[in-house]
Structure 1
Amino acid sequence: MAAKNIDLDQIIDVVAEANPGSALDRVSGARAMAARLETLSQHVIAQFVEEARQGGASWTQIGSALGVTRQAAQQRFVASESADFAAATGRGLPYSARAATSIEAARTLASEHGHRSVDDAHVLLGLLENRTGAAISALKTLGLRTADLRKSARAALPGDTKRKTTNPALGRSGVKALELAEREALRVGSAAVDTEHVLLGLLGDADSAVAKLFADAGQNYAAVRAAVASEAAVKPAKKTAKRTR
C-alpha cells in the first residue's frame, strides 16, 4: 500500500475504535498512536539508510538524501556507547518483563566481571538466563544447546578485572542490538519488545560477535527468524488446547 493512500481519517478511525470510552481516552490513545508512528518512521528511515550503506553509499550522499550534513547523518544512525542505560533501553516500545529481566541480567554480568560496557555477548548471556519465552523455544527448535551458546558467548567477553564496575554503559554493539530488537517487534506489530525480538536484534548485524558465534554453530538470522515465526504460529494453538482440556 502506497504511503499516500494512508490518510488522516483512517488513523482517526483506528484511534476511535481502539478507545470507545470518553473523549479524554481518545486523547490518550491518539498520543500513544502518534508515538508509535514516530517510532515506526524512525525505523523505516534507519532500515533504508543501512541498505544504502551496504550498497556503498557514503555518509555524505546519505546526508544529502536526508537533507542534513554528513556529520548529522552519522550521529543519528551510527550506534554509539550510551552511558544513560535507562534512556538507551526506553526510547520507544516498552520491554516485556522477561526481556527487561534479561537486559538487567546482562548489566549485572558486566558489572560483576568489571567490564566497562554491556556488549552484545553480555546481552546474549542475559537472554540465556531466561529458561522460558520464545527466544529459548526458537533455539531449541534449531537444535542449539544453551550450554554451548553460553560457552561461546563467555569466550567473546573481555577479560575480568579485579573490581566490579558501577553502572556499566551500554556498549555500541549492545545499543545496536536493542535498536534492532525494537525494529523486530515493530515488524510483527508487537506492543512490546520480548525475548525473541532481542534474540533477532542480536543477529541483525551480521558483523556482530553474537552473529559470528551463531554462524560458527551453523545458524544465522534467517534461520532464527524462521524458528521464531514458527513458534509464534503454534503458540495460539497451544493456548487453545490448554483451555479446552
Structure 2
Amino acid sequence: MMPSAPTLESLIAQVRSSLADGPALDRLTLAVGLANRLGELGENLIGYYVDEARRDGVSWAEIGTRLGVSRQAVQKRFIPSDAGMRRRGQDGFWDRASDDLKTAVTLAREAARARRKTYLGTEHLLLGLAGQPDQPTAQALARCGADTATIRGAVDGRVGAPHGEPLPDETPFTRPALRALQHALREALLMNQTTVGGEHLALGLLTVGEGVAHDVLINLGVDYERLREAVKEVTTGPAAPAQSEPSVQPAPVRPEDDQT
C-alpha cells in the first residue's frame, strides 16, 4: 500500500495560508521554495533506503534496475565525489554549512596535512569537530565520553600523531568522508533544519557505518541515540521525558564494493 503523500491541493493551501495577502509573485516565490524543499526531501528519502538496501547486500545493479536506470547511473547519483561536491559548492552543501562546520573542515584539512596524509578522511573530520571545544558539537561528544583529548588520543593511536613538516598540498576527501558529509545533510533534514552544522556531521560519522571516525566513536561507547540526545541537550536543553520524541535510527551502510 502506497503511503499517503502531500496532495497538490494541500500544498497550494499551505502556500496560500503562509501568505494570504500580498503580491502573487511572493506566493510564487514561496511555492518555488516549497517545491525545492520537497524535492530535496524526496531525494534523501530515496537515498536513505538505498543505503539500507546496500547494507542488506543488494547490489548496485539491482538497485539500478528497481529505479529504472543503469548501475553506473545510480552510483553516480548516490555515491558522492570530491569533484561533484566542489562543483555544486556554490548552491549546494557548502552554501548551507554553518560556520562551525566550515571551521571543522578547515581544521580537518590541517590535521591531515600535519600527519602527512594525502587524503582527508573521517578521522580528520572528527579531529576537526573535537578541535572546537567551545562549540556544542564537542560538548555533546564530551557528554558521551569522547572529549577532545580522548578523541585525539584515539585517532593518533590509529593513524599516528603529527610529525615532520606538514604537507603543503590540497588533501581530497576520501569516499567515506564524503559520505559522512552527505549523511550530515540528511541528519539536518531529519531535524527539520536547513543549515548543516557540526552536530549533524558528528551524527553522520556514526551513521555512515565505516571509516576510522566511526570505529573510534563506537569503541569509545558513543552511539547514535545518546549522541543525538546530547546534541539536543547542549543546543536546546534537556527535554522532559514525557515530551521527548522518538528519533529515526539511520542504518549504517556497508563499505562500497568493487563495482564503483
Query: Which category of TM-score, normalised to the shorter sequence, fits these structures?
Result: 0.7 to 0.9
Match of 2:99 in 1: 97
Match of 2:11 in 1: 11
Match of 1:222 in 2: 225
CA distance in 2: counterparts of 1:236 and 1:21, whole angstroms: 38
Conservation of the 8 A alpha-carbon contact between 1:117 and 1:169: yes
Conservation of the 8 A alpha-carbon contact between 1:114 and 1:165: no
Match of 1:77 in 2: 78
Conservation of the 8 A alpha-carbon contact between 2:111 and 2:124: yes
Report the AA paired with residue 192 of structure 2.
G
Shift of 1:111: 4.0
Report the AA paired with residue 7 of structure 2.
D
Report the AA paired with residue 11 of structure 1.
L
- Determine whether 1:212 maps to 2:177: no
Alignment of 1:36-185 (within 5 A): 36-82=37-83, 85=86, 87=88, 91-92=92-93, 94-157=96-159, 164-185=167-188
Shift of 1:193: 0.7
C-alpha spacing 1:75/1:155, structure 2 compared with 1 (3 Å) = farther
C-alpha spacing 1:89/1:141, structure 2 compared with 1 (3 Å) = farther
> Which moves more between the two structures, 213-222 or 183-192?
213-222
TM-score of the superposed pair, with normalisation by structure 1: 0.81
Unmatched 5+ stretches in structure 1? 238-245
Report the AA paired with residue 74 of structure 1.
Q
Conservation of the 8 A alpha-carbon contact between 1:82 and 1:175: no
Match of 1:243 in 2: none
Residues 159-190 of structure 1 deviation map (CA, whole Å, 9 limit, x = unaligned): 86756243322221210110000000000101
> Which moves more between the two structures, 186-195 or 144-153?
144-153
Which structure carries more helix by proportion?
1
Report the AA paired with residue 9 of structure 1.
E
2:204 corresponds, among 187, 191, 201, to: 201
* Structure 2 SS opposite 1:40: helix
**Aligned alpha-carbon RMSD (Å):** 2.9
Shift of 1:29: 2.7
> Which moves more between the two structures, 35-44 or 12-21?
12-21
Residues 94-113 of structure 1 deviation map (CA, whole Å, 9 limit, x = unaligned): 11121222122222333454
CA distance in 1: counterparts of 2:57 and 2:104, whole angstroms: 35
Residues 180-233 of structure 1 deviation map (CA, whole Å, 9 limit, x = unaligned): 000000001012111210100111122221111112212222332232244455
Match of 1:241 in 2: none
* Structure 1 SS opposite 2:96: coil
- The alignment of Structure 1 onto Structure 2 pairs a total of residues equal to 236
* Structure 2 SS opposite 1:169: coil
Report the AA paired with residue 36 of structure 1.
R
CA distance in 1: counterparts of 2:90 and 2:139, whole angstroms: 24
Residues 124-170 of structure 1 deviation map (CA, whole Å, 9 limit, x = unaligned): 11111222333123223223321010122234447867562433222
Shift of 1:11: 2.3
CA distance in 1: counterparts of 2:164 and 2:38, whole angstroms: 43
